[in-house]
Amino acid sequence: MHCSDCCRALQSTPELALESALQAGIDDYLGYLEATRRASRHTLAAYRRDLALLSTCLAQAGIDTAQGIDAAAIRQSVAALHRRGLGSRSLQRFLSACRGLFNHLVSNGTLRVNPALGVAAPKGPRTLPATLDVDQPARLLDAEPQSSESLRDGAIMELFYSSGLRLSELCRLDLPELDLDGALVTVTGKGNRTRTIPLGAQAAQALRRWLQARGLCARAAHHAAVFISRRGTRISVRAVQKRLEQQGRARGLSQRLHPHMLRHSFASHLLESSGDLRAVQEMLGHANLSTTQIYTHLDFQHLAKVYDAAHPRATRRRGGADD
């Protein structure tokens, strides 16, 4: 069940949530995220939805002030959302929003302790991110562009696969953040953290070709965005998603191509070649190494395939002989 469906299901008595005195604290926290932390509008929208769910759950439990919230109330909220179909990842994000809100309320003196710190989401099945095989990116990236739009799409795909950018980072990228001569790109990621990442030679070449075509668009003259739409405005997240889907279909990919698949492929292929988990962490912009470690599982899957295909005992085991 989608988060919004759960929200509608819970709001059978909407007047409780709407009258909640906790809303002032939520509004203040969201304002802080936008103004001080420079959170993206997608992060803000997700946190707003999650905190609306929190407010509704608490209101239905008869709690309408921050001071009335304890760990038991948070656990009950998580349990209620879980019963209504929210998965593990959605509940983890919900708890992340709750912890952020309560940390904010502790820092401004509204609360003494964060009631969500000891609460964990139910563990779901571990799903590994989808990646391309090592030979598949060439099918996507070596095609000759036929238009300025396909030049842009090619540069976008090269940048995702060359440097592992997040979708939001790519869409926010401005011209001064590209250093094509130095083969570097500087991005601002989650938590307003800035990192500088190497650019591959083919990505730099694709970007040069796109920027030359971009310069012919009169509407782009006063826009700092690297990637623009046909109207000359900064390209949107949804537009990038749709264009990549179209490019994947046009190149005959069996799976749906999306930005995170290219980011995951960058990480998996780089780790497979280098074995340097710390370097991959830095380039992906992960605050914690544990987030990056999922790619070691992907690498293990590859090693297991190699073993099964090449090791003599694995071969004998498949053949049924065992001596």
pLDDT the model gives residue 102: 94
Instruction: Look at residues 90, 107, 124 and tell me which one is the last residue of a structural domain.
Output: 107
Handedness of CA 168, 169, 174, 178 (dihedral sign): negative
Which residues in the chain come in under a pLDDT of 50?
Answer: 1-19, 303, 306-307, 311, 313-323
Q: What is the pTM of this model?
A: 0.57
91 in any annotated domain? yes
pLDDT at residue 316, rounded to an integer:
40
Residue 130 belongs to a domain: no
From 48, 84, 260, 302, active-site residue: 260
Q: Catalytic residue at 263?
A: yes
Claim to verify: residue 66 and residue 147 sit in the same structural domain: no
Same domain, 149 and 84: no
Backbone angles phi, psi at 214, to 5 degrees: -60, -40
Biggest CA-to-CA distance, the chain: 74
Q: What is the pLDDT of residue 47?
A: 94
Regarding whether 155 and 55 lie in a shared domain, the answer is: no
Residues 194 and 66 both lie in one domain: no
Same domain, 166 and 81: no
Instruction: Specify whether 286 is catalytic.
Output: yes
User: Of 152, 263, 264, 269, which is the active-site residue?
Assistant: 263
To which H or E segment does residue 198 belong? strand 194-198
**What CA–CA distances, in Å, run from 23 to 28, 65, 240, 278, 290?**
9, 9, 34, 41, 34
- The pLDDT, as a whole number, for residue 157 is 94
- One domain for residues 88 and 218: no
Residues 144 and 290 occupy one common structural domain: yes
Does the active-site annotation cover 251?
A: no
Selecting among 190, 195, 234, 258, the annotated active-site residue is 190
Q: Give the N- to C-terminal CA distance of the chain in Å, as an integer.
A: 52
At 56, the amino acid letter reads: T
* 222 and 178 both lie in a single domain: yes
What is the CATH classification number for the domain harbouring 246? 1.10.443.10
Active site residue 126: no
Q: Taking CA 66 as the corner, what is the angle to CA 65 and CA 72, rounded to the nearest 5 degrees?
A: 105
pLDDT value at position 16? 41
| Residue 119 maps to a domain | no
CA distance 103 to 115: 9
**Per the structure, how many domains does the chain have?**
2
**Catalytic-role residue among 29, 47, 161, 295:** 295
The one-letter code for the residue type at 65 is T
In this structure, the answer to whether residues 149 and 229 fall within a common structural domain is yes
pLDDT, residue 221, reads: 61
Catalytic, 258? Answer: no
Indicate the pairing of strand 184-188 with strand 178-179: antiparallel
- 44-91 residue pLDDT tens: 999 999 999 998 888 888 887 778 899 999 998 998 898 888 888 889
User: Would 113 be classed as within a structural domain?
Assistant: no
The helix (H) or strand (E) run that includes residue 14 is helix 14-18
145 in the same domain as 101: no
Q: Which of 86, 107, 128 is the last residue of a domain?
A: 107
Residue 92 and residue 145 in one domain: no
The answer to whether residue 315 is domain-embedded is no
Residues 74 and 145 in one domain: no
CATH number, residue 68: 1.10.150
Find the domain containing 65 and state its range.
Answer: 3-107
The pLDDT score that the predictor gives to residue 12 is 44
Q: Is 242 a residue of the active site?
A: no
Note whether residue 127 is domain-resident.
Answer: no
